[in-house]
Structure 1
Amino acid sequence: MEISSTSNLCLHLISCAFQRCRLSQQLCRLSAVLKSPSPSILQISISDTGIGSCLEEFQDLNCSSIISAEFWDGILSVKTTAICDDEIYHYHFNLRENISSSRTLTRLPSNPKNGLKFSGTQICLSISESIDVLVSEINHFFQKMMILNIPNIAIELLIEREDIPGSRCENVFLANRSNPGPLSTSNVEFLKSGLEDYVLKHGNSLTQKCSTCFATSECLKVGSGIACSTESHKSSGLMMEVVIIISEIESTCPCFRECSSKTEVLYFKDFTPCSISHSTLNVLSTIDWKSYGLTLENVVDQGVCVLEWEDSPSHSQIDMA
């Protein structure tokens, strides 16, 4: 996997931690800690209490474009343990080597768990990067992750500027608590609830539902569906889950999130926010939207997929995940 920036690397590592938590099917915590001891150095720690890390996940990372003596030395420090392990294992992973098979994995002395049963992973690195840019991107990433509404994962973002006394800041992201449902609830039901919460909180930028814009519970029209590809030589039975919400916002709404004739498609692959696939883009372009009372004017893909509608209903917004 090619990594083109330090922010992409951090988001990839956070995504891997999220997957480890999701696969554990237990209550988990994911923490991203950013410390800036000086204006030119940023220390990053990403930890989770999910299943232990599979070290092979680092073999395919291509970070050559962001590794330099001044920017990043290419070293990842990894601590990991599985529930069945008796020790916490420590590694240094050198991504400076371009060929994955020749990369140096240095195993450091491990720590005993003294009979305790727990699992988790911590990954640390130090880079030269602006903390403000990275915090903004991670916050936006977490806001999108909340749409999945996976109830067993609590996410924490901690920022410490050691060169500025009293600057410690902590953000906690939790799945929608208003209607959590059991862990056995289907993914599409969690997605439906998560997208509703996203819309009612103006893109997860608010801590609670905006009662000014959404005065009644009937302000949202929600539809969902699941599409499965048939098994063939090209496919192994892939599944896509979709939720669409049309919200009717009060005409006197003073909030920043105004109604528009455009819909950003929030796209996830394997439970990770990402740019939309070419095949999905083609599907969105060929849907008979007129049968649903909508007229699609254009599909714009500039890293983010946006659907532009003709004559969209006034005071209404369409959201899709």
Structure 2
Amino acid sequence: MKTRVLVTGASGPAALAFMKAAASRRLDFCAADADPYAAGLYLVPEERRALLPVPTEPNFSETLLRVCKRLGVEVLVPTADAELIPVAIEREQFEAAGIKLLLAPLSASVAAQDRFELMRTCRDVVPVPQTRLFDARFEPTDDEFPLVLKARRLSRGRPARLVRDRRGLEREARGTHLVAQELLGGAEYAVDVLVGPAGLVAAVPRVQLRTEEGESVTSATVQDEELQEMAKRVALRLGMEGIGTVTFRRDDQGTPKLTGFAPRVSSAMMLTVQSGVNMPRIWLKSVLDGTPMPQGPMPFSLVAMVRLFENHEVDPSQIEQMERAAAAALAASEAAE
């Protein structure tokens, strides 16, 4: 009997990376998303697809739990940032239904969503860029320009804006929903980490050679003990358990500084897998069978990745079916309001 694993956020590259990395003859993947055109939906048979409300809807977790029960899911893997907190809040409901979660602790997900609090929490364990709330009290010195304005919370989705001088700053509307951050101009890095009950299992750094819309499309693993140690400190400070990605960028003096943390599988996870550390498979086996995780830190090899687009052809009737399902779900939601 195969184990059914539901991967949500099927429109994102993280979901696709997880399914590719964890694929096994022992598993049947199911896929779910709010978007009927999500690519990951069409990588599984029709009977193992599901549409969900957007994660900000109050009935998201309730609907997701019903989907899990209907599909006979034994393991749930949320991969979209907006899903992590709602599902973590209802963790006990899923576990009471016999559904295991590959999901970071709630505290780690909450910390990851708030750039200001993340920097405050981690500033005594790793170097962080100067980060302040962009409120009425913010008055930078001339030496602090240029600086970067970012949304305080990742869910806001506002792109970062470069402010070169005081005149540019005066054109920006202030508010505690924004942070002003030191501009870092050096190389960017991401470190995939796997943390088990006994501590760090693996930390695999990669240099981000090219990114598009925040996603790594060209990168290469690097041997850098400093980055590994810094990523470990961040993960442990946040109480992390499972898979996450810690990001850094070097300043003008070459010092790597923390820029973010994602408590989920990264879109570039296959690079880490190809380097010799299959984090999704290790975590899944631990959750399913109680297989002890290896003692870390695990070794890895040097490898580079260039992401390519790949087409997946389907019968048009499959898309039409998902469109009808989406329309029916919308009508039911409007009728309930």
Q: Please report the TM-score for the alignment, with normalisation by the length of structure 1.
A: 0.25
Bigger radius of gyration among the two: 1
| Higher relative strand content | 1
Q: Which has the higher contact order (CA 8 A, sep 6+)?
A: 2
Q: Please report the TM-score for the alignment, with normalisation by the length of structure 2.
A: 0.24
| Higher relative helix content | 2
